[in-house]
Structure 1
Amino acid sequence: MVSPPPNDPSVETRQRRQFLGRLPLPERRFLADALRTETVGGILLLLAAVVALVWANAWPHSYESVLHYTVGPSAPLHLDLSLEAWAKDGLLTVFFFVAGIELKREFVAGELRTPSAALLPVVAAVCGVALPAIVFAVANSGAGGHPAGWAIPTATDIAFALGVLAVVSSHLPSALRAFLLTLAVVDDLIAILIIAIFYSSGIKFWALGLALAGLVLFWFLHRRGVHGWYLFVPLALVVWALMHESGVHATVAGVAMGLILRCHREGDEVQSPGEHIEHLVRPLSAGVAVPVFALFAAGVTISAAALKEVFTQAMPLGIVLGLLVGKTVGIYGGTWLAARFTRAELNPQLKWADLFALSTLAGIGFTVSLLISELAFPGNATLADRAKAAVLIGSLLCAVVATTLLKLRNRHYRQLCEEEDRDSDGDGIPDVYQQDDPHWSGRPSSAGG
């Protein structure tokens, strides 16, 4: 039977209904560049976490003294903060700034730009947040529970997940990596909303008003085409300081500035301003900001008694179950149901078991989970440390289970990756994008690919 031409509506219907299909070439190149940086950052993140654990357990007094060492001016914005607070409120703002740019780009040029493409990763992310929170709430519904920590197991850490993949040398097709990245971007948006709504207190409206005015000025200068880091960096610092003083978590300022940046190209631009700035700042976020935060946040005391508490007390057990069970079942189940409801067809080169393994990998909730552990239990270092220990153990369990599942299919993944990268004529364009098969014409496909 003769194949229909590329513009045939039936072909478009099949393309829209495919899930985890091959990425368009420009999107694949952008993804490769972004994930390369995140993978290096993930390895540094793993190293920082190990150093923090060794330091906190071998030399606890030294670790605590560095953690609580105070620097910064006290007036007028009360910025005499401990190094721990600077890492949590300052360095993580860089991380959330990049997350804001990623969100903006996904909405205007990425997988979230159309409702049909966005549906599956959005449903997966929402279910991957809701079910861990429910699992935690159930575990902490009785006497001795601590329901304030419900948001701790809801986050996905893309850098940590990619670091695990790099350490275990696991291949993963670009469609699965793209779905993981898009899922993490939506997850970050939900985490930002949770932090802004549930973990802001004692709002000072004069400071919040000035911070919003600074954001308006930031937007105006950017839209007018004004350039120069010497203008925007000082303005960003002022906005951050005002947001910190307002009582709204300071990282929200970073997200807001990231969302303001223009991420679509105009005229003959090779890169939009948002893409250019993300390219510059992402290495700082992945290679410095997040690992240093991990160094100051992951140092918890590990002992037989502490490990026993993780599996016998409601709060830490709820976190472990939320990450390992809630995340996996939420993401996998939500995606499967959404695909069934929309009649999306899975890429025939992949299996639903691959998505299950990816869902388990998404249970690694390191950076934002550690941040929320501190925000959920302010002034109670014991509970915060117990929650952090649970985050570390839950993330480790997810990493081990996901690695085992992915390794079972690693040979198949390697073959897919080799096919994706093969360039027989050396023209810089993989062969699969030059085939006559209209199914692989390089046009955007559905969610995750």
Structure 2
Amino acid sequence: MARKLTLDFLKTEAASGAALALAAIAALIVANSPWSADYFGWLKSYHIVQIGPIRLEETISNWIKEGLMAVFFLVVGLEIKYEIVRGELSDPRKLATPVLAALGGMAGPAAVYLLLSGVIGAPHEGWPIPLATDIAFALAIFGFVGRGLPSSLRVFLLTLAIVDDLGAIALIAILFSEGANWTPLLWALGLLAVGGVVAHRIRIPTPFWVLGFAAVWHLTVQSGLSTSLTAVAFAMIVPIKPRVEDGQSPLKEAIHDLHPWNAFLVLPLFAFAKAGVSFAGLSLEQAFAPLVIAIALGLFFGKQIGVFGAAWIASALKIGARPTDASWLQVYGVSLLCGVGFTMSLFIGVLAFPGAVDSPEQVEVKLGVIGGSILSALAAAAVLGLAGRGRRPDVVERP
């Protein structure tokens, strides 16, 4: 039974990667076709959702980013909780390694960018752009090449990317935020605290979990912070212990129910909304501008140096431990994969260089992020494919 659940999960993961890749390719084609104006107009169009006195008005792009992607981060948070309590990360040293690697993965790109800034004259304010790993695209690529690799590597990547994402959000709050609205944020934290206590005392029916998540999500939107933060926090209060009456784990049930929606609706829509970049009017000089080179090399070299270096040092000093059954070559492949920095990097680029979407700086930011991400993805696929050749896939029980 455990083997069947594992194989079904991996098949869904691989199919999800294919759907994500097709959606990203479709976005690039549409963005550079006669329908590009309709595509970008659709993303910028506002849509209103109103339930009684609660009214939210956001663009399609923001509904996908802050709405649907909250479901993605909820599922990721549930998986990480399972691994911390019952799986790979229950060993504190195995948990320390991806956390420290994530910190190294932020320091490395910043150092590479600032070094190049002094050498080739890239704008100094662009240094935060290559710091973030795009967890959705990174996991999709791993789904293509990870079938013969130990499952601990996926957990390592998942945890690392979450910590990296939270670090990027904190960086945005420090460098670019005008301040959060603390009242709704405190209400959200209060709901999480109450929900965590109640959930471990009595059984909460599924509709109340849905309402609770919706309430926390709405309060987070009102606070002005990223919903990914509270989505992961909400996952932490979902009980993992099986219920007495039916022996089912609420956490496992939630993962089982949400994973297909995540795989075949949330992530493909996200890719279609975020991967559409127009190359109209691009010149060769602009394609190799200092800003483009600094961002691309920050993602490609900075990420692999920072992530792999921090993971190796943590293991050497006995602070952390290498993922179970994984070789250092495989860890290096995952370090390369962390250079895929699409969505959050583009978002930071908008904040670092405010202006029109077709301004020279914004075009160069997109070129740098896309270039560095593609280089990292191709190199990671090659290394992980080589490292996993001839190896039997690990079959372990998934939540």
TM-score band by shorter chain is: 0.7 to 0.9
In the other structure, the counterpart of 1:69 is: 45
Aligned CA RMSD, in angstroms, stands at: 3.6
In the other structure, the counterpart of 2:373 is: 395
Q: Specify the SS of the correspondent of 1:88.
A: helix
Q: Specify the SS of the correspondent of 1:112.
A: helix
Deviations 1:363-411 (A, max 9, x none): 22334444544555555524455433322222211122233334445xx
Deviations 1:80-114 (A, max 9, x none): 11101111111111111122222322322222222
- 1:184 Cα deviation after fit: 2.7
Task: Please show how residues 400-415 of structure 1 align to structure 2 within 5 Å.
Answer: 400-409=378-387, 413-415=388-390
In the other structure, the counterpart of 1:20 is: none
- 1:262 Cα deviation after fit: 2.2
Residue 223 (1) aligns with residue 200 (2): yes
In the other structure, the counterpart of 1:244 is: 221
Alpha carbons of 1:375 and 1:250: their partners in 2 closer, same or farther (altered >3 Å)? farther
Larger Rg over CA atoms: 1
Q: Specify the SS of the correspondent of 2:225.
A: coil
In the other structure, the counterpart of 2:75 is: 98
Alpha carbons of 1:162 and 1:212: their partners in 2 closer, same or farther (altered >3 Å)? closer
Q: Distance in 2 between matches of 1:131 and 1:334?
A: 10
Contact 2:129 / 2:295 at 8 angstroms: preserved in 1? Answer: no
- Paired-residue identity, %: 30
Contact 2:238 / 2:250 at 8 angstroms: preserved in 1? Answer: yes
Amino acid at match of 2:165: A
In the other structure, the counterpart of 1:38 is: 13
Alpha carbons of 1:60 and 1:258: their partners in 2 closer, same or farther (altered >3 Å)? same
- 1:165 Cα deviation after fit: 5.5
Amino acid at match of 1:401: A
- 1:29 Cα deviation after fit: 8.1
Alpha carbons of 1:401 and 1:180: their partners in 2 closer, same or farther (altered >3 Å)? same
Deviations 1:15-47 (A, max 9, x none): xxxxxxxxxx97x98765554433222221111
Residue 125 (1) aligns with residue 110 (2): no
- 1:151 Cα deviation after fit: 4.7
- 1:69 Cα deviation after fit: 1.2
TM-score by length of 1: 0.74
Q: 1:181 aligns with which of 147, 155, 166?
A: 155
Q: Specify the SS of the correspondent of 2:153.
A: helix
Residue 55 (1) aligns with residue 30 (2): yes
Q: Distance in 1 between matches of 2:327 and 2:228?
A: 38
Number of equivalent positions:
389
Amino acid at match of 1:69: S
Contact 2:101 / 2:160 at 8 angstroms: preserved in 1? Answer: no
Q: Distance in 1 between matches of 2:378 and 2:318?
A: 32
Contact 1:73 / 1:80 at 8 angstroms: preserved in 2? Answer: yes
Unaligned runs of 5+ in 2: none
Residue 87 (1) aligns with residue 61 (2): no
Q: Specify the SS of the correspondent of 1:81.
A: strand
Amino acid at match of 1:403: A
Contact 2:130 / 2:296 at 8 angstroms: preserved in 1? Answer: no
Amino acid at match of 2:13: E
Q: Distance in 1 between matches of 2:65 and 2:54?
A: 17
Contact 1:55 / 1:63 at 8 angstroms: preserved in 2? Answer: yes
Q: Distance in 2 between matches of 1:208 and 1:290?
A: 27
